[in-house]
Copies of this chain bind each other. A is one copy, B any other.
Amino acid sequence: MTTLPVTQISLPPGFIDLGMGNPDFDLLPMELLHRSAETYFAAGDRRTLQYGAEAGDGNFRRALADFLSAAGGSRVDPGLLFVTAGASSALDLICSLYTRPGDVIFAEEPSYFLALRLFADHGLRVIPIPMDEDGLQIDALEERLAESRPKFVYTIPTFQNPSGRTLSQPRRDKLVELAQRHDFLVVADEVYQSLHYGQEPPQPFAAFAADVEQVVSVNSFSKILAPGLRLGWVQAHAKVIGRLAGSGLLDSGGGMNPFTSAIVRGMVESGGLAENIAHLRLEYARRLQALDAALRWHIPAAEYSLPQGGFFFWVRLPGVDAGGLRRQAQAFEVGIRQGALFSSRNGMQDYVRLSFCFYGEEDLEQGVIRLRNYLESGV
């Protein structure tokens, strides 16, 4: 009989995969969800089992808007929120509605490799735009605009995957200005926005959404609650929300996740979600420090900037072929993600992405020790 896996994770026992970008099982809040589900079933509102409103359940959108308003310090209009089945489903819908195969889009170099795969499925041509410590290089982007106009620029502006970098406020303003002038969308994948452990990041692109037609902020409960929920949201201009909600997919199936959003609503309203995020910040901050300390102690040659949030260290190992490292380090029971995975042009050969989301402090150090053992083995 075939084995049918439950999750995407498949690791040999004892293996430490420092490349893993999934949250730790221990941090998935089953109890919190249970309490929220109890609230839901006690109310017993059958409307949440019907074909849902295309933009999402109005009660959930209001609860989410209140939550975002409190978190961000400025009033979010629930009418500008569109409930999704996670960030990937949002990106997929945006590609379906706003692009055609052969169209050009711009993306950061490096960028999230699974988003790049999704864009490839839609036949899009990705033009990579270099980054530096302040994120996407807007000057370089502006130069590319002279050659080709993208349908959209895909950016992970805050605690980027994989680089951990955050786009500075002046560059955000400039990008929005360019988007308005040249009429392309800024698709900002802001799923790490609230996971900051040090310096707070700039305002999200979501803050532009009310006024600027070209800005689409994509967000998700996957990092702040649980990926298995497949629940997320888009915050965008009314024109964009109307286009998404008016699509054939939404007209046919109704809102993307009415039942789950209704279950989650209780914890959004009760403060449970905010507490969960506060808990994650503390826990991830400890893990970040543990990975940093382990790298500095065991692999002093590793070059990186300390991220202020998110899940990832983007580490340069000078002179190391990271693809070969990934294959060969398996014998040492340790995994990484090679930089080339995140490149649209097979670059970033001596970079690795390390994550501190899936393992506790001891395993993180143990993983780094294994990595050092491999590097020192001369294999």
Contacts and interface: CB of A to CB of B under 8 A. Distances in A.
A101 B256 CA distance: 24
Contact of A28 (B46, B52, B91, B256): B46
A151 B205 CA distance: 39
Interface in A17-39: 22-23, 25-26, 28-30, 33-34, 37
Contact of A6 (B41, B57, B121): B57
Contacts of A3: 58
A120 to B, nearest CB: 6
A48 B29 CA distance: 11
A228 B259 contact: yes
Number of copies: 2
A230 B253 contact: yes
Contact of A253 (B34, B87, B121, B249): B87
Interface of A is mostly: helix
Contact of A249 (B28, B53, B61, B89): B89
B49 A89 contact: no
Interface stretch (A92-100, A171-179, A323-331): A92-100
Interface in A199-230: 222, 226-230
Given A25-B50, A257-B230, A259-B260, A58 B115 contact: no
A53 B5 contact: yes
A51 B227 contact: yes
Interface in A34-79: 34, 37, 41, 44-55, 57-59, 61-62, 78-79
Interface of A: 2-9, 22-23, 25-26, 28-30, 33-34, 37, 41, 44-55, 57-59, 61-62, 78-79, 85-89, 91-92, 96-97, 100-101, 114-123, 222, 226-230, 247-249, 251-260, 262
Contacts of A255: 8
Contacts of A100: 101, 123
Contact of A46 (B30, B89, B253): B30
B249 A7 contact: no
A44 B30 contact: yes
